Amino acid sequence: MGYARFIAGKTASYVLALLAAVSLLYVGIYPTLQKVIQASAVEAASEFQRNLARGHPGLSLAQMASEVATYKAAYLGAFGFDQPFPVKFALQMANLFEFHLGSSFFIQAPDGSKQVSAIVAAYLPNTILLFTTGTLLVVAVGGVIGLLAARSAGGKLDRVVPVVAIVHSSVPSWWIGFIFIAYFAYSLNVLPSGGISSVPPPAGTLPAFADFLRHLTLPLFSFFIVNFGGFAYVTRSLAVSTMGEDFVTTARARGMTEGRVLFKHVLRTASPSIVTQSILAVAGSLGGAIVTEVVFRWPGLGFLTFEAIIQNDLPVIIGSTFILTIILFMGLYIGELVYGVLDPRIKTGDL
């Protein structure tokens, strides 16, 4: 009961926040967006004209011009071009949320489509794959290391974790990617330098999957190596402060093993805060992750954005930014739901 109310509240708050964030984006890119829509209207109109000429060879030039003009006006009308700003805003936002992102200037989806939504859809899964696997790895390994460090407070591991965290906070993950490529791909020649599969990809499901894993290794590892230290440090701090609480002493007095105290009682109690920290970590590491894609030519949204920047393909930049916003919101939202499960005060309706 408490949890249902919590979910309802969070959902409302996140939906509104997403609207607000996209509005912010909208205002920030307003002039570009108008240009982009006009450009795609021109594109669509010439497409329409070609079809018209093919389908109705008998039309006169004047008739043709008037048909095309009507079509273009209707196209722009759908984006509220002849309307006052609030209507225009509403129409264009609605278009964004329906994934009517227009067509790109140059970039094509693998199937040849120039629809931004199709392009983004083609690149999106790779980003989700790399980013979620990376995040899960960071949270799992960083969390365990942090807990172990907290257990031996003052010990060797406990002294190493802050050092690793310090070094990690000053290294860009994509740059580490560079170094890995130079070393593992070109110097040792043991792993591919980039991309998501060999060209041509090996035949058969299993070899293809192994090939894919080989390509995933370096980007994943460079994302992991730069992010787990900070997370281990945060987990350690949270665990150490939790271990100072009375219930830990009483748990020991109850005759529990250290492992049970640490991995059941301390971890479980600190887990809501750890989830909160994971949420912040996810928000913070997305930027690094998408740039890591660039270095490894991993065909995800980051790589797509980089290509779009190079080619000045504005529709693609806007589209991928919009999708990234939605992804980040989903990630944080899932984090909140997990938090709700972990904190009993939410279940009982006390928070």
Partner 1 sequence: MEPSGRRRGYLREFLRSRSGVAGLVLLVALFATSAFVVATTSPSQVQRWQNPAAWEGNPQAAPPAWVNYFGVDAPQTVQLSLGRWSNLSSGAGGAFSASASFSWEHGVPASDLAVVPVFKGQVYEMDVTWTKPDGSSVVMSVSSPVSGSFYDATSSSFKQGIAQFIQAQTGAYVSSVTTPQEVAALFGQDGRDLLNSSVQRGTYTVAVEVLGARGLAPSSWEVSVVGDSYGTMGTDSSGRPIDLGVLAGLPWALEIGSLGSVVAVVGGVLWGGLSGFLGGAKDRAMSWGTLVILATPGLAFIVALSYNVRLTLLSEALIIAGLSWPVFAIIARTVSLSIKSQTYVEADRAMGVSQLRTFTTHFLTRLTPVTVAFTALSVSGFIITGETLAFLGIEPANVITWGGILNAAISFDASVHGWWWWVLFPGVMIIVASLPFVLVGFALDRVVAPRVSAR
Partner 2 sequence: MTALLEARGLAIRYPSPRGEVRAAEEVDLEVGSGEIVGLAGESGSGKTTLAMGMMRLLPPPGRVAAGEVLFDGTDILSIPEERFRREYRWTKISMVFQGSMNGFTPVFTVGAQIDEVMRIHGREGGRAAIGRLLRMVDLDDGIARRYPHELSGGQKQRAFIAMALALEPKLVLADEPTTALDVITQANVVNLLKRLRKETGVSILLITHDLALISQAAERLYLMYAGRVVERGPSDRLLREPMHPYTQGLVAATPTLESRDIKGIPGFMPDLARLGEGCSFHPRCPRAMDVCRRERPALRGVGGEGVACWLY
Indicate which single residue of 286, 293, 299, 315 sits in contact with partner 1 (rule: CB under 8 A): 286
Indicate which single residue of 212, 287, 337, 347 sits in contact with partner 1 (rule: CB under 8 A): 287
Give percent helix, percent strand, percent coil of the chain, each to the nearest 5.
80, 0, 20
84 or 154: CB nearest partner 2 = 154
Q: Are 328 and 131 in contact (CB under 8 A)?
A: no
Q: Is 344 in the site for partner 1 (CB under 8 A)?
A: no
User: In angstroms, rounded to a whole number, what is the distance separating the alpha carbons of residues 248 and 268?
Assistant: 12
Q: What six digits make up the tokens of 143?
A: 């969390």
Burial class (CB within 10 angstroms; exposed 0-12, middle 13-18, buried 19+) of 27: exposed
From the list partner 1, partner 2, none, which binds 99 (C-beta under 5 to 8 Å, kind-based)? none
The residue to which tokens 């995933």 are assigned = 216
Q: Is 99 in the site for partner 1 (CB under 8 A)?
A: no
- Among 202, 203, 196, smallest CA distance to 217 is for 196
Q: What six digits make up the tokens of 255?
A: 């005759």
From the list partner 1, partner 2, none, which binds 166 (C-beta under 5 to 8 Å, kind-based)? partner 1
87 or 153: CB nearest partner 2 = 153
24 or 210: CB nearest partner 1 = 24
Residue type, 253: A
Q: Is 304 in the site for partner 1 (CB under 8 A)?
A: no
Residue 58 carries which DSSP code? T
From the list partner 2, partner 1, none, which binds 184 (C-beta under 5 to 8 Å, kind-based)? none
Burial class (CB within 10 angstroms; exposed 0-12, middle 13-18, buried 19+) of 246: exposed
User: In angstroms, rounded to a whole number, what is the distance separating the alpha carbons of residues 253 and 172?
Assistant: 46
Q: Is 270 in the site for partner 1 (CB under 8 A)?
A: no
β-pair partners for 115: 103
Q: Are 266 and 243 in contact (CB under 8 A)?
A: yes
Indicate which single residue of 91, 107, 141, 171 sits in contact with partner 1 (rule: CB under 8 A): 171
Q: Are 125 and 214 in contact (CB under 8 A)?
A: no
Q: Is 29 in the site for partner 1 (CB under 8 A)?
A: yes
Sketch the per residue contact string, 240 through 269, with partner 1: x for CB under 8 A, - otherwise. xx--x-------------------------
Segment near partner 1 (CB under 8 A); pick from 15-23, 80-88, 108-116, 251-259: 15-23
5 or 56: CB nearest partner 2 = 5
Segment near partner 1 (CB under 8 A); pick from 70-78, 90-98, 104-112, 163-171: 163-171
Q: Are 230 and 171 in contact (CB under 8 A)?
A: no
From the list partner 2, partner 1, none, which binds 311 (C-beta under 5 to 8 Å, kind-based)? none
Residues 6+ apart with CB under 8 A from 45: 68, 71, 72, 75
Q: Are 105 and 39 in contact (CB under 8 A)?
A: yes
Indicate which single residue of 216, 274, 291, 346 sits in contact with partner 1 (rule: CB under 8 A): 291
Q: Are 298 and 130 in contact (CB under 8 A)?
A: yes
Q: Contacts with partner 1: how many residues (CB under 8 A)? A: 62
Question: Which residues of this protein are in contact with partner 2, per CB under 8 A?
Answer: 245-247, 249-257, 260, 265, 268-269, 271, 342-345, 347-348, 350
β-pair partners for 103: 115
Q: Are 116 and 101 in contact (CB under 8 A)?
A: yes
Considering only residues 319 through 338, tell me which ones interact with partner 1, judged by CB under 8 A. 320-321, 324-325, 327-329, 332
Q: Is 15 in the site for partner 1 (CB under 8 A)?
A: no
Give the binding site for partner 1 (CB under 8 A): 13-14, 16-18, 20-21, 24-25, 28-32, 162, 165-167, 169-172, 174-175, 178-179, 181-182, 185-187, 193, 237, 240-241, 244, 280, 283-284, 286-288, 290-291, 294-295, 301, 305-306, 309-310, 314, 317-318, 320-321, 324-325, 327-329, 332
